[in-house]
Amino acid sequence: DVKVTQSSRYLVKRTGEKVFLECVQDMDHENMFWYRQDPGLGLRLIYFSYDVKMKEKGDIPEGYSVSREKKERFSLILESASTNQTSMYLCASSLSGGRGFEQFFGPGTRLTVL
Amino acid sequence: QKEVEQNSGPLSVPEGAIASLNCTYSDRGSQSFFWYRQYSGKSPELIMSIYSNGDQEDGRFTAQLNKASQYVSLLIRDSQPSDSATYLCAVYDYKLSFGAGTTVTVRA
């Protein structure tokens, strides 16, 4: 069964803390993605990776960084958390291909920054 | 201008009716088009993919694509209460861009 897991379902952090969100997929997918989802704004792409040790900025990368040291793991880092980063964070993975393949999503991490 | 726009909703339809969802996109180079369904508190899941002009049918779902008009739609026939969810339109050109979603409620 296809599976994308995320390290926490709920997380509460203080302003200024460094926050790590972990995502692991067991489907041997090349591509991995980090989104945030906010009411009325839909899913917005933060960063994505098409290969190990490779990363590309999405639409809203400011305040975030990522790490992909192994094919199955993609980490999102908030260097200094701020209240406007309170959101639902969704990780996804997919196969590679010119037409774009189905993205499988993890259960999400609801992050609250106080 | 947003890359992918959906009719804002919410959309309320009686059980057994047809729900019609619309989506427009701005990038003419877009290659692939997807509809995801997201139940409240859950993650999005893919329900339809369409790559060429015309209709694509899967059970009670029909996706329609018109590249000249930059328009994608989703029809849900014989709507059921279990179809109550938010439907996200997604457009692919090197990366996937999502619309804000349309929330559908099917009244029993």
pLDDT digit string, tens, across residues B45-80? 999 999 999 999 999 999 999 999 999 999 999 999
Position B89 scores a pLDDT of 96
- Mean pLDDT, range A12-40, rounded to an integer: 95
Is A30 within 8 Å of A51 (Cβ atoms)?
yes
Model confidence at A22, pLDDT cuts 50, 70, 90, reads: very high
pLDDT at A2 over 90: no
pLDDT score, position B1: 55
Single out the residue of A62, A74, A12, A42 nearest to residue B91, CA to CA: A42
To the nearest whole number, what is the mean pLDDT of chain A? 93
- A111 within 8 A of A89, measured Cβ to Cβ: yes
DSSP state letter for B94: S
Asked if B1 contacts B26 with a C-beta cutoff of 8 angstroms, the reply is yes
Half-sphere exposure of B93 (CA within 13 A, CB side): 9
Q: Which two tokens stand for residue A27?
A: 């489907």
Look at strands B19-25 and B4-6 and give their pairing. Answer: antiparallel
For residues B4, A22, B39 and A36, what is the CA-based torsion angle, rounded to 10 degrees? -30
Tell me the chain B residues in contact with residue A100 when contact means C-beta distances shorter than 8 Å: 31-32, 34, 92, 96
What mean pLDDT do residues A67-95 have?
96
Find which of B95, B97, B102, B103 to mutate to test the A interface (most A CBs within 10 Å of its CB).
B95
* Band of pLDDT at residue A65, cut at 50, 70 and 90: very high
Q: Which of A42, A100, A102 sits opposite B88 (nearest CB)?
A: A42
Q: So what's the pLDDT on residue A55?
A: 94
Confidence of residue A40 (pLDDT cuts 50, 70, 90): confident
Q: What residues of A are in contact with residue B101 (Cβ under 8 Å)?
A: 42
Residue A15 has pLDDT above 60, yes or no: yes
Closest of A39, A106, A33 to residue A76, by C-alpha:
A33
Contact A40 B45 (CB under 8 A): no
In angstroms, the Cα distances linking A10 to A5, A6, A25 are 13, 10, 19
Average pLDDT on B73-92 reads: 96
**Distance separating alpha carbons of residues A70 and A110, to the nearest angstrom:** 24
Burial class (CB in 10 A: 0-12, 13-18, 19+), B27: middle
- Contact residues on chain B for A107, CB-CB shorter than 8 A: 42-43
Q: Which residues contact B94 (CB under 8 A, 6 or more apart)?
A: none
pLDDT at A37: 96
